[in-house]
Structure 1
Amino acid sequence: MGAKIIAIGNLKGGTGKSTLAVNLACALGSAAKARAVLVDADSQGTAMEWAARGRLPVAVEAMPFEPEANGDGAWLKALNGLAAQNDFVVVDLPPHLGTSIVLALVAADLFVVPVTPSGADIKATTKAIDLLRQARGVRGNGKPGCLLVPSRVDRRTAAGKEIEAVLHDFGEPVAPAVGQRSAHVDAFTAGEWIGTYAPRTSAHDEIQTLTAIIRRSKA
């Protein structure tokens, strides 16, 4: 049986997408007997840069999505190859490129959408959900599932206090929030995931909670 493929993305940068992708892959891969791989499909290469020190507990594969080079299905073939060898494949999608989201959702079991408490992010999320529903229409089996993740949330602001209520209006499941925490920035600098860099902190607890939800999801 192949892996659960988890695509992480939105149509706007700055949502904490790579932070979620790296930490979720590491959390999933740190469980006993679980095999996980992180696919960096973003040409900016944030996940690859994170992994450059060799301190992450999972493999990271550079598979940047380039539409002109993937018309023959090579990208999907490579993704399915990784899925055959792992229990979880986490894909860090590029922002701004709707075609990459559609392609990934053809294969994905779950679409994780990080959303910060900003009007621009909400607008981008509307478009991302439209792409999700297009993919579901093509597949005809209700897949992929979806999980909206309030990301980089500052509860001191009005928008931070209301983000869950706003996201529920999309009609998709909403995860507990991941806060705006300096530990994630510092973990990137150290080349470590939050479970190694700052275990048993609030930042780690939030990632563990999100990981548990993803593990239990039937998608």
Structure 2
Amino acid sequence: MSGRILTVAQQKGGSGKTTLAAHLAVALAKQSGEPVAILDVDPQGSLGTWYEAREEAHGEDETGLEFRTASGWGARREARSLARSHGYVIIDTPPKTDTDAKPAIDAADFVIVPIQPTPVDLWATSQTIDLAAREDTPALLVLNRVPPRALLTGEMAEAIAESGYDTLNARLGNRTVFASAMGRGCAVTEDAPSSKAAQEVASLIEELVDRIG
């Protein structure tokens, strides 16, 4: 068995990396029926804090996920080791540093890049795309924290399309339910399964799985 390694990366802070990583892990575990591991290489440890909340909510043996941490070049070794026994390995990386992100991107089959629909975020994303390109790892953009009915969102979607970046059609909205679910160690697909947010995650997973095979 050799699972897919998906590294969530974005050089700009505040893009929603950890929230996206957690939701990918939970949804892929349910969709695939395979074991899924999450690997936190961000020194802030936000994914680890979420996982601890998940252990408290579900029980240490009932999280449905395996959790590991690593730093620097240890991330590549740990990710590849986990991929031998898991269908998917989801890696959460720190912003603003190539040192920890580079090994995680090198190990990945795909880099998932969350981007908020603003010009500043688009400018910053080019750094992450360039880093992925240097490691010869394909990158997929995900529009995240998208405000409802904003003119800027449409304009930015066009700008991203013109940039030539490979972008998924599915988007995740700027919804408080994401934050509340994370605070309880859950994903919205568990905490609010009938919500619009859960539907957005389901659409994202369906498209992502189709793209990555």
| Same fold at TM > 0.5 | yes
Deviation at 1:208, TM superposition (A): 1.1
Q: TM-score, with normalisation over the residues of structure 2? A: 0.89
Q: CA–CA distance in 2 between the matches of 1:163 and 1:183? A: 24
In structure 2, the partner of 1:124 is 124
CA RMSD after TM alignment? 1.6
Q: CA–CA distance in 1 between the matches of 2:208 and 2:39? A: 17
In structure 1, the partner of 2:50 is 50
In structure 2, the partner of 1:154 is 147
In structure 1, the partner of 2:92 is 92
Aligned ranges for residues 202-213 of structure 1 at < 5 Å? 202-213=196-207
Deviation at 1:114, TM superposition (A): 0.3
Q: CA–CA distance in 1 between the matches of 2:106 and 2:203? A: 27
Q: Alpha carbons of 1:60 and 1:162: their partners in 2 closer, same or farther (altered >3 Å)?
A: farther
Contact 1:150-1:163 within 8 A present in 2 as well? no
Aligned ranges for residues 3-22 of structure 1 at < 5 Å? 3-22=3-22
Moved over 3 A (4+): none
Q: Which runs of 5+ in 1 are unaligned?
A: 137-143
Deviation at 1:146, TM superposition (A): 1.8
Contact 1:39-1:61 within 8 A present in 2 as well? yes
Equivalent position SS for 2:200: helix
Equivalent position SS for 2:209: helix
Equivalent position SS for 1:178: coil
1:101 and 2:101 matched: yes
Equivalent position SS for 2:167: coil
Q: Alpha carbons of 1:218 and 1:151: their partners in 2 closer, same or farther (altered >3 Å)?
A: closer
Deviation at 1:85, TM superposition (A): 0.8
Deviation at 1:131, TM superposition (A): 1.1
Q: CA–CA distance in 1 between the matches of 2:212 and 2:176? A: 32
In structure 2, the partner of 1:186 is 180
Equivalent position SS for 2:31: coil
Q: Alpha carbons of 1:32 and 1:15: their partners in 2 closer, same or farther (altered >3 Å)?
A: closer
Equivalent position SS for 1:37: strand
Percent identity between the two aligned chains: 27
